[in-house]
Structure 1
Amino acid sequence: MTALHGRSRLALRRRRLRLWWLRFSQPVLGPFRSRWRSSLRLRTMTITASITTVMIFVAGVFILTNVGDDLYSSRRDQALADSARATLAAQSVLDSSNATDRARLTTLVDSVRRAVLDTSSSSMIYLRRQPGQVDVSDAPVDSNTSQSLVDAVTDDLSESLRDTDAPQHWQPVSVPDETGVSGPGIAVGSTLSFPSGVGNYDLFIGYNFSDTEESLNAIQRTLLITTIGLLALIISLVWVISRSVFRPIRAAADASHRLAAGDSDARMPLQNDEHFDVLSENFNNMAGTLQARITELDELSDMQQRFVSDVSHELRTPLTTIRLASEVLRGQQDAMDPSQGRAVEVLGTQIDRFETLLGDLLEISRYDAGRITLETEPTNLVALARDVIDGIQPLSKSMIELRPIGGYGTVDVDARRIRRIISNLVGNAAEHGEGRPVVVTIDSNAAAVAVTVRDWGVGLKAEDIERVFDRFWRADPARKRTFGGTGLGLAIAREDAAVHGGLLEAWSRPGEGANFRLTLPRGDASAFVSPLPLIPDDVSIEETDPGTTGGWLRRPFRRVWKERTK
């Protein structure tokens, strides 16, 4: 239990640390990370600057290390040579002396110290009798000119002088300069032989390397300034080169963006480079071809819209004449035999259907031409849906039920178009419901009002759902139409929903029926969540169902529809 508790606490700490890092790094690194992913120029400059900085740093460290070693070695060799000369001078003074008593030996020590000071470039001298020798009463006492040198001499250096035959030994020490500030240096030790059996003395001379350190610091400063200048020069050079290299790419991106935005005259200028000029010429040729093709398609679309509109209008006159003739025949139907009466009845039914088809063609041509005007008014969708159901129920074999969960408040819509949507959805559900009940549900929230029409008929396949809003498409062409559709109902219904800024969606599954959902935003809501689910609550959700990977959050299509119809 203790181990489990410890692992839990460790996992909690890791989670908190991860959350803290996300909160810290997102505002700081987020904009740079986003810019890094989207800018090839920034990546090129950053990578070049990073590699250059690493190379300069490695080269600088290498140069400084070698220069520092060379300066130190040269200064150390000078100090050793200087110490050797001073030691020889001091030993010469000792060798030429025949002092035997303490007074003369003390005077001899002073002479040795003066000889060292005169010969050596350093003023730090420490002379002491070598440890481990037999005491001599007349031996001169130790003397020094720098207490810091006395403190800097270590036992290792003393033992090296006593135990080895090398003429000189040295060690790095910290010694003060003329101002008293400690700096790097070395202490060089050598052995002097005094006359009259006095024994050996150790001579230590301290050398200050502060001048060498200052020279190295000056080199470091110069190298740092050179590095910064070189790095700035390289970054500026990369910036200028990248600006020059990416200028044709920016020109191509700008031209393609303008072309995608609808500017058919957008062209890519020449770049005075044979390869980029080929790209510019090919791009401009492609843009010209697209412009010609788009112009041709626009003309064909306009011709098609005018044709549909003109034909629909032109058919109105003969259709009116045929309807008048049909009404005359219908007035004489009682005097006809049953077969003739049936023919007159069928003629009237088909004329009604033909007139409905002409009306739908005119309506769809208005949508294609972008000549739609909404006549909005405060509308109660519950009352409107109830009126629609009351009109369709006598003609339907299915029981149509209205479930108004919400939506009792009014919403500003074009009541005629919304009535047409609901009538189409309820009529299709009653026709394909196989006699099973049809449920119309209405609900609302602060941002939207939704209407769903649910049936338990044969349902549709996944590939059929994608085409259910196509014009003149039927899932089963052999199915008999109870309400006599034209094949344009759902296409017009989706356009009616889009012009309101709403959304018309469909869900269906073979053997489990279908569910159509109309969602209308309240006012000018920039985003809305449908108050009703697209997938019914009585079915299991599958990964292939629409809406299972997203949410119900939708942006209104009114702006998109307006831009499309400009």
Structure 2
Amino acid sequence: MLRPPRPATLLANLRRAWRRSLQLRVVSITLVMSTLLVGTFGLVVANRIIDGLLDAKAADAHKQVAAGTETVKEYVRQVPNPRVDPYLNTNLPGLVAGLVRGNPDGFSVAVVPTEPNIGELDPQAQPNALAFRQLPTAFRQKVASGGFYEQREMIEVDGQGAQPYLIVGRSVTARTYQLEVYYFFPLDDEVRAATLVRNILFATGTALVLLLAAVAFLVTRMVVSPVRVAARTAQRLSAGLLDQRMEVRGEDDLAALAASFNQMAENLQRHIQRLEEMSRLQRRFTSDVSHELRTPLTTVRMAADLIFTERDGFDAPVARSAELLQAELDRFERLLTDLLEISRFDAGFAVLDAEPTDLVPIVHRVVDQLRGVAERASVDFDLVIPDEPVIAEIDPRRVERVLRNLVGNAVDHGERQPVEVRLAVADGVVALTVRDHGVGLKPGEEKLVFNRFWRADPSRARQTGGSGLGLSISVEDARLHGGWLEAWGAPGKGAQFRLTLPTRAGEHLTSSPLRLVPEDVDARPVVGHQRDDAVAEPGADLLVAGPAHPGETR
């Protein structure tokens, strides 16, 4: 059984639709504004019409009352002594009946004395006694004080309930006597007319609002539909479908927009194809040159090895030249190897040979390989490594290469200070950090350390003789594992690199068991980007950076 959506869910869906749909916002705003406008206009018109009907009714009533009061005055003048003569009380019902006889409006009349000593005039004996009893006291007092007044009241009618009436009261003075004349005009016709006017205005206003909403829907649809088509086409273009184009219809502004969009897409496609071709040629050139240099390098290497082996029999300058030749050939060979590796990454041919591997021996092996270089640079190693094995599904060759590049860079920039290497694992994530205490990184340099052939200080002597491609290759190796390679640095506080990898291939990373910002750094606000790790990382004037990896936003 399907359950109706909860109010919170429905409200969330409405908010989402409001944010995402321009057409919904335009139609809704048009509907609300037109409802307010038409409602206000209809209310004003209805009130004016009703006021006009009541004003006309009041004008006619005033004429009836003026004529009736003259008849009452004439009648009182003919009474010899109304205070003692019963003639006034006896013939008053007939007078009242004469006043209301033959009127098409169906009004009623009541005549009562103002002076309390004229007790013979009994309004209860008049035909409209029920209406008279419902006269408001305040209204009677105003009429008795002299004057001409009117008021609308609901009066109970036998068998019909409360009915609207226009009551007009006038004080009449004849000879020395004062009477009060009250006319009761029913407003049934006016109420029916007002109801009809309101119904007509409501129906007309509703139809007009719906019509305006429909017009707004159609107009916005004409405008929004091409925009939606442009958005979908742009999404396809961003997804790599460069042949997508908008359909051009007509010659209006939307057609001009579609034509301009298509022209832009055409230019983008041409430039992207040109860049792709240039990139392909560059990769091919790098790959071809690297391969072509292998053959002469092998020949030169054989000759250099022979000369290097026999260097003891040469003069000192020649022996030194043989050593330099051997060192430069080693560097040249490493450069060719790195260029070939970069070309494989660029071409998308790099393959990950992941297998369960213990990272502890890899760390020890890299440190042992670089210990001689570190001794020449007067740099010691500080290892913080678990005693038990740290198993992860990795490509050991690539991870060892990453670690070798990081440790070699730390030795080059260690400034005779210890290089700290840490290894930790937690919650299916393994992390390696390499920290040096050298000059650190200047503001902005943390974004450049992973660029190809970039060096923080080109004038510095390098202990490891790198090619300038080590960190670029390391980044690609980390991405191939689905991991992160990040950098932190601060002037005068050294630098630290962190490699974070999942213990199982294909797992998604959300945090790292090791800090990127070292613990010995003062806790102050971080300048630059910082990943949302499971452990907060402090730092001030600290620079944190690292290339984005698939599925991550930096």
Normalising by the residue count of structure 1, what TM-score does the alignment of the two structures yield?
A: 0.83
What's the CA shift for 1:453? 0.7
Deviations along 1:422-457, one digit per CA (max 9) or x if unpaired, are 111111111210111011122233253221111101
CA RMSD for the aligned pairs?
3.3
Alignment of 1:2-401 (within 5 A): 32=14, 35-36=17-18, 39-88=21-70, 105-120=88-103, 121-122=105-106, 124-132=108-116, 134-135=117-118, 142-146=124-128, 148-164=130-146, 166=147, 168-177=148-157, 179-190=159-170, 199-396=177-374, 397-401=378-382
The separation in 1 between residues aligned to 2:420 and 2:129, in whole angstroms, is 107
Is 1:519 aligned with 2:500? yes
User: Could you say which residue in structure 2 is the equivalent of 1:18?
Assistant: none
Give the letter aligned to residue 115 of structure 1: G
* Local SS of the residue matching 2:527: coil
The separation in 1 between residues aligned to 2:248 and 2:546, in whole angstroms, is 41
The separation in 2 between residues aligned to 1:191 and 1:469, in whole angstroms, is 105
The separation in 2 between residues aligned to 1:192 and 1:464, in whole angstroms, is 105
The separation in 1 between residues aligned to 2:162 and 2:465, in whole angstroms, is 107
The separation in 2 between residues aligned to 1:302 and 1:169, in whole angstroms, is 100
Give the letter aligned to residue 367 of structure 1: F
CA 251–406 in structure 1, closer or farther in 2 if over 3 Å, else same:
farther
Ranges in structure 2 where 5+ consecutive residues have no aligned partner: 1-5, 535-544
User: Could you say which residue in structure 2 is the equivalent of 1:4?
Assistant: none
* Local SS of the residue matching 1:262: coil
What's the CA shift for 1:416? 1.2
Deviations along 1:519-562, one digit per CA (max 9) or x if unpaired, are 123444444112222221222355563345x633799966469x
The separation in 2 between residues aligned to 1:191 and 1:341, in whole angstroms, is 142
Deviations along 1:7-34, one digit per CA (max 9) or x if unpaired, are xxxxxxxxxxxxxxxxx99867665555
Percent identity among equivalent residues? 33
CA 391–147 in structure 1, closer or farther in 2 if over 3 Å, else same:
farther
The separation in 2 between residues aligned to 1:175 and 1:406, in whole angstroms, is 101
Normalising by the residue count of structure 2, what TM-score does the alignment of the two structures yield?
A: 0.85
What's the CA shift for 1:464? 2.4
Comparing 461-470 with 535-544, greater Cα deviation is found at 535-544
What's the CA shift for 1:325? 2.5
Tell me which of 411, 420, 424 is aligned to 1:430: 411
Give the letter aligned to residue 323 of structure 2: E
Q: Number of residues paired by the alignment?
A: 531
Deviations along 1:246-301, one digit per CA (max 9) or x if unpaired, are 34433433333322222211223213124444443333333222222222221221
Aligned 8 A contact 1:460 1:509 in 2: yes
* Local SS of the residue matching 1:176: strand
Ranges in structure 1 where 5+ consecutive residues have no aligned partner: 1-23, 562-566
What's the CA shift for 1:229? 0.7
The separation in 2 between residues aligned to 1:265 and 1:537, in whole angstroms, is 52
What's the CA shift for 1:243? 1.5
The separation in 2 between residues aligned to 1:431 and 1:191, in whole angstroms, is 117
Tell me which of 453, 469, 474 is aligned to 1:493: 474
The separation in 2 between residues aligned to 1:147 and 1:413, in whole angstroms, is 108
Deviations along 1:75-104, one digit per CA (max 9) or x if unpaired, are 222333334444455566666677988765
Is 1:463 aligned with 2:444? yes
User: Could you say which residue in structure 2 is the equivalent of 1:8?
Assistant: none
Aligned 8 A contact 1:460 1:475 in 2: yes
Tell me which of 501, 505, 518 is aligned to 2:486: 505
User: Could you say which residue in structure 1 is the equivalent of 2:3?
Assistant: none
User: Could you say which residue in structure 1 is the equivalent of 2:538?
Assistant: none
The separation in 1 between residues aligned to 2:440 and 2:121, in whole angstroms, is 122
Aligned 8 A contact 1:508 1:514 in 2: yes
Q: Which has the higher helix share?
A: 1
Aligned 8 A contact 2:485 2:547 in 1: no
Give the letter aligned to residue 92 of structure 2: V
Is 1:415 aligned with 2:396? yes
CA 135–334 in structure 1, closer or farther in 2 if over 3 Å, else same:
closer
* Local SS of the residue matching 1:126: strand
What's the CA shift for 1:72? 1.2
What's the CA shift for 1:459? 1.7
CA 146–471 in structure 1, closer or farther in 2 if over 3 Å, else same:
same
Aligned 8 A contact 1:425 1:453 in 2: yes
Give the letter aligned to residue 396 of structure 2: A
The separation in 2 between residues aligned to 1:283 and 1:376, in whole angstroms, is 45
Deviations along 1:294-313, one digit per CA (max 9) or x if unpaired, are 22221221111112112212
The separation in 2 between residues aligned to 1:498 and 1:252, in whole angstroms, is 33
Aligned 8 A contact 2:475 2:547 in 1: no
The separation in 2 between residues aligned to 1:451 and 1:488, in whole angstroms, is 20
* Local SS of the residue matching 1:528: coil
